C-alpha cells in the first residue's frame, strides 16, 4: 500500500496519518482550504506532515466553497452562525457543505494517480454518519466503485477508511496507541484562539476523550458545556 492521506488537521485525520505512517505506507498528505471559518486547522495538518516527513499539498478550493451554501463557509451575503450543541440535532444541518467530501475525494484520487499512490485514506467515522450523508458507508462504497470506472486504464486506486465503523472514542484510543500529539490537532468549527467547547465538533471531541478514558490536553473556552447536551 502507498497511501495519500486526506488530512484536515483534526483529531481523526491526524490519527489516521500517524496510523498509516506507523504502518509504513504513508506517501503524502493532502488538505483543502474551502473557505472554512476554521482554516487554522490547516496549520495543524502541515505540522503533522512535517513531523511525519512527507509531502503536504494544500489545495485552495475557497472559490468553490464561496459557491456552496453552508454555515462553515461564510460569504458576504450568507454569514450563518455556527450552531452550538450536539451533532444529533437538526440545527447541525447548517454545517453541511453540499458535496464537500465527494469534491475533496475526487481531487484526492486525481492527485494519488499523479503521485503513483495506490490508496486514498479518509478518516470518516461512525459518528459522522448521522448528519453527513457523504460520510456514510453506502456512499463510501459507491464512491470507490465510481472511481474504479473513472480511472480505468489510468490508475488502480483503493479507498482506505479504517474508522468507518468506529466511533470517535475508538479513534482517541487508536491515537493513544499511535502516540498522536493530540494537543496539536484542531477540531473547533469556530476557528478562534481556543477550542470553543460548544460547537458540534468540540462537544464530540470532549465527549470522545471522556468515553475513551483518555486525558484531553485541549484548552476549551467552555469546558463543561458538553455535559449539558450529551
Residue ranges in contact with a copy of itself by CB under 8 A? 57, 59-60, 63-64, 67-69, 96-103, 105-107, 109-111, 113-114, 133-134, 136, 138-139, 142-143, 145-147, 149-155
Q: Which three cell numbers stand for residue 213?
A: 478514558
* Minimum CB distance to a copy of itself, residue 106 (Å): 4
* Minimum CB distance to a copy of itself, residue 54 (Å): 15
* Minimum CB distance to a copy of itself, residue 198 (Å): 24
* Minimum CB distance to a copy of itself, residue 82 (Å): 18
- Please say whether the beta carbons of 84 and 198 come within 8 A: yes
Q: Which is nearer to a copy of itself, 139 or 166 (CB)?
A: 139
Mutual angle of helices 137-150 and 100-114, in 10-degree steps: 40
- Please say whether the beta carbons of 95 and 138 come within 8 A: no
What does 127-142 look like in DSSP terms, one character per residue? Answer: GGTTT-GGGSHHHHHH
What does 18-48 look like in DSSP terms, one character per residue? Answer: HHHHHTT-EEEEEEEESS-TTTTHHHHHHHH
Q: Which is nearer to a copy of itself, 175 or 200 (CB)?
A: 200
Q: How far is CA 197 from the centre of its chain?
A: 18
DSSP 83: P
Q: Which is nearer to a copy of itself, 69 or 166 (CB)?
A: 69
Q: Which is nearer to a copy of itself, 67 or 79 (CB)?
A: 67
* Minimum CB distance to a copy of itself, residue 65 (Å): 9
Q: Which is nearer to a copy of itself, 59 or 211 (CB)?
A: 59
Amino acid at each position: 500500500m502507498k497511501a495519500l492521506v486526506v488530512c484536515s488537521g483534526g483529531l481523526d485525520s491526524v490519527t489516521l496519518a500517524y496510523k498509516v505512517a506507523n504502518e509504513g505506507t504513508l506517501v503524502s498528505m493532502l488538505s483543502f482550504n474551502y473557505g472554512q471559518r476554521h482554516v487554522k486547522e490547516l496549520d495543524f495538518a502541515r505540522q503533522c506532515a512535517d513531523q511525519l516527513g512527507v509531502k503536504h499539498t494544500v489545495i485552495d478550493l475557497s472559490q468553490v466553497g464561496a459557491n456552496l451554501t453552508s454555515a462553515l463557509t461564510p460569504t458576504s451575503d450568507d454569514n450563518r452562525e455556527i450552531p452550538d450543541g450536539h451533532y444529533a440535532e437538526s440545527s447541525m444541518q447548517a454545517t453541511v457543505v453540499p458535496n464537500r467530501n465527494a469534491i475533496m475525494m475526487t481531487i484526492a484520487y486525481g492527485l494519488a494517480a499523479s503521485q503513483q499512490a495506490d490508496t486514498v485514506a479518509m478518516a470518516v467515522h461512525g459518528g459522522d454518519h448521522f448528519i453527513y450523508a457523504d460520510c456514510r458507508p453506502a456512499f463510501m462504497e459507491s464512491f470507490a466503485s465510481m472511481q474504479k470506472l473513472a480511472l480505468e486504464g489510468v490508475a488502480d486506486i483503493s479507498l482506505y477508511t479504517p474508522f468507518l465503523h468506529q466511533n470517535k472514542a475508538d479513534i482517541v484510543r487508536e491515537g493513544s496507541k499511535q502516540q498522536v500529539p493530540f494537543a496539536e490537532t484542531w477540531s473547533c468549527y469556530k476557528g478562534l484562539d481556543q477550542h470553543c467547547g460548544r460547537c458540534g465538533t468540540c462537544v464530540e471531541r470532549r465527549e470522545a476523550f471522556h468515553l475513551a478514558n483518555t486525558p484531553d490536553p485541549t484548552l476549551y473556552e467552555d469546558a463543561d458545556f458538553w455535559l449539558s447536551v450529551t
